[in-house]
């Protein structure tokens, strides 16, 4: 069941033909304020994805900085969890 749901989400977010004029998007101006931890960001993105899927839209964000509060900046050489919990 989990694999099926993951496949369905991936298929929804990655259309076969990106130049199809019938595609609709949900553009989220993702929160830039500091202080949102990983849990809040996962919850927020999950809600936005649910809305996009229900409305038959593809979710895209203007800005997504992961867990960006002080002490949890992360970098491209470490995983998100490593940067938050080491």
Here the tokens at position 74 are 């992360």
Domain range annotation of the chain: 2-15+23-85
10-residue stretch averages of pLDDT, the chain, 86 residues long = 90 86 86 70 89 93 60 51 49
User: Which pLDDT score is estimated for 77?
Assistant: 45
Crossing angle of the two packed helices 38-54 and 2-13, in degrees rounded to 10? 70
pTM of the model: 0.66
For 36, other C-beta atoms within 10 Å of its C-beta total 19
Residues contacting residue 63 through CB under 8 Å, at least 6 positions apart: 29, 30, 32
- Distance, in Å, from the CA atom of 3 to the CA atom of 74, rounded to the nearest integer, reads 28
SS3 of residue 61 by DSSP? strand
């Amino acid at each position: 069941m989990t694999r099926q749901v993951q496949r369905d989400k991936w298929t929804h977010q990655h259309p076969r033909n990106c130049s199809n004029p019938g595609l609709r998007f949900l553009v989220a101006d993702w929160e830039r304020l500091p202080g949102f931890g990983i849990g809040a960001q996962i919850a927020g993105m999950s809600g936005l994805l649910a809305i996009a899927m229900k409305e038959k839209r593809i979710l895209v964000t203007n800005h997504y900085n992961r867990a960006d509060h002080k002490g949890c900046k992360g970098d491209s050489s470490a995983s998100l969890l490593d940067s938050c919990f080491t």
